[in-house]
Amino acid sequence: MKYKTPGVICCLIAGASLFQYCSKSGSSGTVTGTGSTLTASATPQLPAAAFNYSNLPLPSHILACLATDDNTPATNPVTNDGATLGRVLFYDKSLSKNNSVSCGSCHRPDLSFSDSAIKSKGFEGGVTARHSMALLNTRFYRSGKMFWDERANSLEEQVLMPIQNSVEMGMTLTELETKVAGISYYPALFQKAFGSSNINSDRISKALAQFVRSIITYQSKYDLVKQGQASFTADERDGETLFLTAGNVTCAGCHAPPMFLTSSPQAPFALADPTDAGINNQHRFKSGSLRNIANTAPYFHNGSVPSLTAMLGAAGTAPIPQHTVAPQDRQKLLAFLQTLTDVTTIADVKYSDPFRQ
């Protein structure tokens, strides 16, 4: 098969042996917008010394992937103070026109930064066109292209789009800059993150991107097994073998370990959807990391598949014929997919809502 994006280079260096390679190794005030007027959140609770976002103790199988697939631009490396500012912005409802939603409303930490709703609710109660995406291991999508249809060229470009989206947060960039500059706790956070208290949309974009890039799962059972610190059950092991080898295009051929990202979103593997043409109008869709997939239902770009068992064809036919797995193999594949869940990362206080502590 052809790999169209360079996103899995780390897993392709040595062709099939890649898999061995990888496994070896609140606003202070009240703001009036259109619609309802809400009082924005109180001051965020932050630690005296910033949490560690920039230097996570990543195991070697993840570091090897980071070395080749990282989409971090040289102009915006993750720093502890930058990601701290990004965390506050991410959970601040002041970033929406009427102070009713934050990024975290549609990307909930307890749901691996996705949403259990099929379509998410925006600031005036309207719903998004597609299902929310989990924000895990975003940094490892080599091309850096974001959204189900890859319409944003980078994470820095992407993070300002929901703020300006008329359904999601409803602001202009000028309104955003003025509003954030008027909130008491921001100047000091910008000062720490960027060396001066100037507030502009470029810095807001950089800080949000740093926070999103800092969210990496590396503490799942799968990761412990790869480090020789745990072992798979028989079903989990058989499930991994199926994932790596079954089918003429294997699951791993697209959802390449260790980050399980779609390398080559192909039309036949997308969920048939006459209302949505996807990437370049070719009926193709990106899939984010399959890590924590058991925690991010419902599935696919339109959220129409309610569970992993449904996606594997429990009802007789899989919603995507090309994703179909033989009945006797489903339980094994499911067991393997569940080993990808890392609850430690999503419960980590450094990724949590600082307005809620």
Binding footprint of ligand HEC on the chain (CB under 6 A)? 90, 95, 101, 103, 105-107, 120, 122, 128-130, 132-133, 135, 138, 146-149, 155, 158-159, 162-163, 168-169, 208, 212, 249, 251, 253-255, 262, 264-266, 269-271, 285-288, 290, 293, 296, 299-301, 311, 323, 325, 333
Least distance to ligand HEC, CB of residue 151, Å: 7
Nearer to ligand HEC, 265 or 354 (CB): 265
Nearer to ligand HEC, 64 or 270 (CB): 270
Q: What angle do CA 90, 347, 27 make, to 5 degrees?
A: 30
Nearer to ligand HEC, 179 or 301 (CB): 301
Residue 31: C-alpha distances to residues 36, 96, 100, 126, 147 (Å):
10, 10, 11, 20, 30
- Phi, psi (5° rounding) for residue 97? -55, -45
Task: Please give the radius of gyration of the chain, using alpha carbons only, rounded to the nearest integer.
Answer: 20
Least distance to ligand HEC, CB of residue 139, Å: 10
**Residues 135, 107: Cα–Cα separation, whole Å:** 7
**Residues 218, 59: Cα–Cα separation, whole Å:** 7
Answer whether 274's CB lies under 8 Å from 282's CB.
no
Least distance to ligand HEC, CB of residue 307, Å: 10
**Residues 267, 67: Cα–Cα separation, whole Å:** 29
Residue 114: strand pairing partners: 108
Nearer to ligand HEC, 159 or 335 (CB): 159
Nearer to ligand HEC, 229 or 309 (CB): 309
Least distance to ligand HEC, CB of residue 245, Å: 10
